[in-house]
Amino acid sequence: MNKTEEIKLIALKGIPEVAEGDSVGEMILSSAAREKISFLDKDVVVVAQKVVSKAEGRVVNLSGVKPSEFAVTVSREVSKDPRLVEVILGETKRIVRMDQREDGKGRLIVETFSGLVLANAGVDTSNVSGGADVTLLPLDSDRSARVIREHIKKETGKDIAVVISDTVGRPWREGLVDIAIGCCGIKALSDHRGKIDTKGFELAATEMATADQVACAAGLLMEKNAAIPSVVVRGVSYIQGKKGSGELIRDPAHDLFR
Amino acid sequence: MNKTEEIKLIALKGIPEVAEGDSVGEMILSSAAREKISFLDKDVVVVAQKVVSKAEGRVVNLSGVKPSEFAVTVSREVSKDPRLVEVILGETKRIVRMDQREDGKGRLIVETFSGLVLANAGVDTSNVSGGADVTLLPLDSDRSARVIREHIKKETGKDIAVVISDTVGRPWREGLVDIAIGCCGIKALSDHRGKIDTKGFELAATEMATADQVACAAGLLMEKNAAIPSVVVRGVSYIQGKKGSGELIRDPAHDLFR
């Protein structure tokens, strides 16, 4: 069967609570072994940001955070804990928008140093032990993906790709979806420009965001409360590449959508 | 096996060239029969906008279009055929942005009457016979989804959902992904708010755009030049609903991302 005819998404369950220093690659291999899943060449392993952040020690306990005056000012605008705002601002290149809705819930949309535009700079308060702990995005999610990829390759001999995903809001559209904040082994963008459509005409502007598509698909199995932090995506026709996720960031100068 | 553990995407191949008046539901059933795919309750059938538009006669031959003065003005701004611009403006509630890049390629981002923000109002020149023919989005994609759903239900007895997808650009992110421009039988948004995470804390703002996730996943099999206009997505844990895709449109007043 042609590999573009069917794609399978397989949940990797039973990955235990992750602590700083844990090997995410090893935990994925253990889970796969327990579930009797053997990796194949060209599998894409999608890993939720949260477990990567925890393993990399990107966890902050708010009790030790002293908010700056600016953080206190912003915290009033968006009705959030000033210590949480302090942590968010530490990850922030610029504030895109902030406000408070009628229901009192505030929103703080920022651009991170890696160019992602995210609510709260991706700083997350759910599923972290203690309640006062928050997770920050990995410092370099492409590197995180590379480490996991190389571990799995070393142990299994299989040439897989890894995508680190996060759940984000979007302009114009309600509801969250998962995107790729890091990747290794897969070219994030698949350029179909210059190819010919079924009628023989050249295809215009069909550069697909393959890594985002894979992350989004995996998100269908990663319900927040289902303890499924990793999904194997099998059968995707992708281009191998090591450039990482940076090419998914649109140059603001060419961004007509914002 | 629990149904949230594995999701399968199955391409429906061999769907022939679609003409006005054709039943898309019937073509999907024929393709499924040829491929020996039996529908199951809760399958989601994703159908590319293009075939729905063609079947509904939403095709315009540019040779018969007389551009207005405004269309001519806009066409110069974005270096596009003034007749194509005339067709786009007929689908447009407001122009969001327009420009021309250094390479001479123009872009025209508009909001359609149904609230979608799209390049060229979703008017598409690829894969249409003759070259001078363009397709417009279905007038009511939720209705299109309902017609297909009811046909499949009548013929197979299976309670499936249908999503009509289109390929779109996004703010901040390079590359295209597929979104749901119409749906029936699936609730477009899955509200996880109020649910409890694995640590016992209430999950904040995790309302997933399920119909978009399904459309995006199916897009992995719908390469533009691969003649795969429909994909069966099996194993998604979704909420049934008949409200359509409107709840995916973010109220501009609450859109901090734009």
Domain range list for chain B: 8-58+137-251, 60-134
Task: Judge contact between B119 and B96, C-beta under 8 A.
Answer: no
| DSSP three-state, residue B175 | coil
Instruction: Tell me which residue in B119, B206, B209 faces A173 most closely, judged by beta carbons.
Output: B209
pLDDT tens-digit series, residues B154-211: 999 999 999 999 999 998 899 999 999 999 999 999 976 556 555 555 555 579 999 9
Q: In percent, how much of chain A has pLDDT > 90?
A: 72
pLDDT tens-digit series, residues B61-99: 999 999 999 999 999 999 999 999 999 999 999 998 888
Q: Is B110 on the interface with A (CB under 8 A)?
A: no
Counting beta carbons within 10 angstroms of the beta carbon of residue B69, is it exposed (0 to 12), middle (13 to 18) or buried (19 or more)? exposed
Hey, what CATH class is A60-134 in?
A: alpha beta
pLDDT tens-digit series, residues A214-242: 999 999 999 765 579 999 999 999 999 88
Helix, strand, coil percent values for chain A (each to nearest 5): 30, 25, 45
Task: Judge contact between B14 and B34, C-beta under 8 A.
Answer: yes
CA pair distance A114, A93, nearest whole angstrom: 9
Query: Beta strand A161-168 with A44-48: parallel, antiparallel or unpaired?
Result: parallel
CATH superfamily of A8-57+137-251: CofE-like (3.30.1330.100)
Q: Is B109 on the interface with A (CB under 8 A)?
A: yes
CA pair distance B235, A173, nearest whole angstrom: 24
- B56 confidence band (pLDDT: 50, 70, 90): very high
- Give the global pTM: 0.92
- A37 confidence band (pLDDT: 50, 70, 90): very high
- B132 confidence band (pLDDT: 50, 70, 90): confident
Q: Which residues touch B254 (CB under 8 Å, ≥6 apart)?
A: A101
pLDDT for the residue numbered B3: 41
| Mean pLDDT of the residues in chain B | 89
Q: How far is A153 from chain B (nearest CA, A)?
A: 23
Q: Taking CB atoms and an 8 Å limit, are A126 and B248 in contact across chains?
A: no
Q: Is B9 on the interface with A (CB under 8 A)?
A: yes
Say whether the ipTM exceeds 0.90.
Answer: yes
Q: What is the dihedral sign for C-alpha B224, B228, B230, B232?
A: negative
Name the nearest CA neighbour of B179 among B207, B217, B224, B233. Answer: B217
Range B212-232 average pLDDT: 89
| Mean pLDDT of the residues in chain A | 89
pLDDT for the residue numbered B180: 98
- A138 confidence band (pLDDT: 50, 70, 90): very high
Q: Note the residue count of chain B.
A: 258
Query: Beta strand B6-12 with A207-208: parallel, antiparallel or unpaired?
Result: unpaired
pLDDT tens-digit series, residues A174-192: 999 999 999 999 999 997 6
CA pair distance A25, A152, nearest whole angstrom: 6
Q: Is B102 on the interface with A (CB under 8 A)?
A: no
pLDDT tens-digit series, residues A14-27: 888 899 999 999 99
CATH superfamily of B8-58+137-251: CofE-like (3.30.1330.100)
Q: Which of B137-146, B199-208, B227-236 has the lowest mean pLDDT?
A: B199-208
Q: How far is B94 from chain A (nearest CA, A)?
A: 14
- pLDDT above 50: residue B9: yes
Relative orientation angle of helices B141-156 and B24-34, to the nearest 10 degrees: 50
pLDDT for the residue numbered B64: 93
- pLDDT above 50: residue B125: yes
Chain B residues whose CB is inside 8 A of the A195 CB are 224-225
* Residue B23, CA distances (Å) to B28, B150, B151 in order: 9, 12, 9
Chain A residues whose CB is inside 8 A of the B190 CB are 175
pLDDT for the residue numbered B200: 56
Q: Is A258 on the interface with B (CB under 8 A)?
A: yes
Task: Judge contact between A46 and A218, C-beta under 8 A.
Answer: yes
Most confident of A28-37, A109-118, B178-187: B178-187
pLDDT tens-digit series, residues A97-106: 888 877 778 8
Instruction: Tell me which residue in A119, A175, A195 faces B225 most closely, judged by beta carbons.
Output: A195
